[in-house]
Amino acid sequence: MEGGSLVSELFIERLNYCIYVILLLIGLWAMLAKRNLVKKLIGMSIFQTAIILFYVSIAVKKDATIPIYLAEHDPHGSHAKVATEENATENQVAYNPVELKPETVKGYANPLPHVLMLTAIVVGVATLGLALALTQRIYQGYGTIEEDELLDKLDRADERASQSPIIKEKRNAQRRKSTQRAKAKAAAGSVTKSNMAAKPSAVTKGKKKAQPKKSPSKTSATKAKPKPKS
Amino acid sequence: MKLLSLIPVIAIGVLLLWAGQDFPKWGDVESPASKSPVSSHFIANTGVDTEVPNMVTAVLADYRGFDTMFETVVVFIAGMAVIAILRGSSIGRPRRKDHEVEAEPDLIVTNTVRLIVPVIQIFAFYVLAHGHVSPGGGFQGGVLMGASFILIALSWDLEKAMSRFPIERCLVVAAMGIVLYGGIGLLSMMLGGEFLDYAELEKILPVSREMARYHAMLGVEIGVGFTVAAIMFVLYANLASEGRLKEGL
């Protein structure tokens, strides 16, 4: 009994909400789960359609007509014409339309959601065009619109960028500083040991120790490393 | 990843369906949206205030004129952005030839389009100008007009359509639409009203205050139609040719 009432409440009397929720979920899922950027945009469009359906469906009134005046309520319709013919000379003054009564208002669908969605549709097309342009630009730049491939390429591009001359120079300077520090440390150690002959080995040791600290465990670091003086 | 994204999707779906039980029923006359004083006011007073039978047009261009103006600006900016993103992006890039078929425009297609394009364009003007008394208006008419040029581009090639409606002229027309809209707003401001208070235009038009709003709405809709038509074609021309503006699909 309880379930039956729920079904009639939700799926018969409010079918429009079910349809809009389903469309909305399809769009949301496409935006979240799909890796292809164009598929994501299709999801966005479906999402938008769901919202438009929702708005338009709440504008519906039972037994109401579209929000355009019927002839009997139309200020330009038969009423108005009679009024102007009767007072042909002073029609501007005599023509005095009255606002609709609440009973008649109920006979017209709600115009406001229609207005909102009218602009939303066109703006949606424009923004979709903008999104497609961005996607096209991404394709031109990276040769793919698959998100995971794109991320891979971006990572690789980052790596390449980290080998740019400026960053290389910075890293070299840092490395030089730390080798000097290591040298100084090694020198101090050798002094305590009072073994001058062991100095070169101490230096290499210090270098070896300092190396993993400086180089961020990347293959590029070995390339960028200053060559040991021979 | 896909399973992970299914969790929020299902959660949101359950929440929305659960909340859906509290929504008004389908076609409920007493639903909050329909019972609200705003929409009742629009339905009751549009005819008195503006003499426009189509309430949607009146609400769009008059009561919510400010909103519509900036919606038009959004369309304009989107077109500008597409040009900015794609123009020159494919210079020196070889055009992909793998999906291309070298063929003359088809005789049947081009002749059919030759026949129906004038009809589409006249219908676009009709929808634009008749938007006060029947479903229609600037957005719809503009889209129809833009579609007629897109149809030319599809059946011949982009050059053919661009020779009718070059991109520079598109931009001028699009900007003109905004200027027309804003100009009507400014004009009513200069005549002593507020921005987009069309009733003040009665001082320069030989009509009543209501009919001044009626006619100003037509002007505003024409502005919207200009912008939308031009930007629709700009979007197509740029997207179809990756910003090259030639050859196209």
Residue-wise pLDDT for B5-63, tens only, equals: 889 899 999 998 888 878 888 878 888 888 888 888 888 888 888 888 888 998 998 88
Say yes or no: A126 contacts chain B, CB-CB below 8 A: yes
Under a CB-based contact definition with an 8 Å cutoff, are residues B216 and B185 in contact?
Answer: no
At residue B228, the pLDDT reads 94
Tens digits of residue pLDDT in B167-203:
889 999 999 999 999 999 999 989 888 888 888 888 8
Q: Which residue has the higher pLDDT, B74 or A106?
A: B74
d(CA B168, CA B233): 12
What is the DSSP code string of A149-164? HHHHHHHHHHHHHHTS
Summarize the confidence of residues A15-23 as an average pLDDT: 88
Q: Does the CB of A73 have a partner CB in chain B at under 8 Å? A: yes
- Chain B interface test: which of A62, A63, A69 (most B C-beta within 10 Å): A69
Amino acid occupying residue B198:
Y
Chain-chain contact of A115 with B60 (C-beta, under 8 angstroms): yes
Kindly report the CATH number that applies to the domain delimited by A2-159: 1.10.287.3510
Q: What are phi and psi of A72, to 5 degrees?
A: -75, -20
- The end-to-end CA distance of chain B, in Å, is 35
**Closest among A92, A199, A79, A99 to B45, alpha carbons compared:** A99
Is residue A91 pLDDT above 50, yes or no? no
Flag the least confident range among A2-11, A57-66, A150-159.
A2-11
Could you say which of A57, A58, A126 has the minimum Cβ distance to residue B75? Answer: A126
Residues A151-176 have a mean pLDDT of: 80
Q: Does A76 touch chain B (CB under 8 A)?
A: yes
Interchain pair A126, B21: CB under 8 A = no
Q: Say what the pTM is.
A: 0.77
**pLDDT score at B152:** 92
If you average pLDDT over residues A198-227, what whole number do you get?
46
Q: Which of A178-187, B3-12, B213-222 has the lowest mean pLDDT?
A: A178-187
- Number of A/B CB contacts below 8 angstroms equals 198
Segment B152-160 shows an average pLDDT of 87
Instruction: Give the position of tokens 């897109």.
Output: B150
| Amino acid present at A141 | G
Both structure tokens of A206: 């210090």
Contacts of B31 in chain A (CB under 8 A): 58, 61
Region of residue A146 (left: phi > 0; alpha: psi -120 to 50; beta: else): beta
Contact flag B235-A129 (C-beta cutoff 8 Å): yes
pLDDT at A95: 54
Q: Where are the domains of chain A?
A: 2-159, 169-224
Average pLDDT, chain B: 87
User: Does A223 have pLDDT greater than 50?
Assistant: no
Contact B21 A6 (CB under 8 A): yes
- Phi (first) and psi of residue B6, to 5 degrees: -70, -25
Does the beta-carbon distance from A122 to B228 stay under 8 Å?
yes
pLDDT above 70 covers what percent of chain A?
Answer: 68
Residue contact A129–B135, C-beta within 8 A: no
Q: What is the pLDDT of residue A210?
A: 45
A60 contacts chain B (CB < 8 A): yes
8 Å CB contact of A99 and B20:
no
Higher local confidence (pLDDT), B175 or A196: B175
Q: Is the dihedral of CA B157, B158, B159, B160 positive or negative?
A: positive
* Nearest neighbour of B231 by CB, restricted to A13, A17, A126: A126
Contact B21 A137 (CB under 8 A): no
More confident residue, B149 or A211: B149
Mean pLDDT of A186-198: 59
Which chain B residues are within 8 Å of A16, Cβ to Cβ?
Answer: 26
Mean pLDDT of the region A81-88: 48
- Is pLDDT larger for residue A188 or for residue A82? A188
Average pLDDT over chain A reads: 74
Q: How high is the pLDDT of residue A130?
A: 92
Tell me what pLDDT residue A182 has.
81
Lowest mean pLDDT segment, chosen from A18-22, A124-128, B46-50, B107-111: B46-50
- pLDDT of A4 reads 60
Give B120's pLDDT tier (boundaries 50, 70, 90): very high
What is the model's pLDDT at position B124?
94
What's the pLDDT score for residue A42?
Answer: 94
Confidence tier at B140 by pLDDT (50, 70, 90): very high
Residues in chain A closer than 8 A to B48 (CB atoms): 75, 97-99
For residues B223-243, give the mean pLDDT. Answer: 91
Say whether B53 and A32 touch across the interface (CB within 8 A).
no
- Report CB contact under 8 Å: A119, B68: yes
* Residue A39 near chain B (CB below 8 Å): no
> Residue B92's pLDDT is what?
66
Provide the token pair at B225: 């139609």
Of B25, B75, B210, the CB nearest to A13: B25
Q: What is the mean pLDDT of residues B160-171?
A: 89
Evaluate whether A39 touches B42 at the Cβ level (below 8 Å).
no
Does any CB of chain B come closer than 8 Å to the CB of residue A9? yes
Contacts of A135 in chain B (CB under 8 A): none
Q: What is the pLDDT of residues B67-105, one digit of tens each?
A: 999 999 999 999 999 999 988 777 666 666 655 666 678
Residue A229 pLDDT: 46
Mean pLDDT of B122-149: 92
Cα-atom radius of gyration of chain B, to the nearest Å?
23
Binary contact (B51, A21; C-beta < 8 A): no
Distance from CA of A184 to the nearest CA of B (A): 52
Q: How confident is the model at residue A202 (pLDDT cuts 50, 70, 90)?
A: very low
Q: Please indicate whether, in this complex, the C-beta atoms of A33 and B20 are within 8 angstroms of each other.
A: no
Task: Output the pLDDT for position A50.
Answer: 93
Contact of A131 with chain B, judged by CB distance below 8 Å, is answered with no
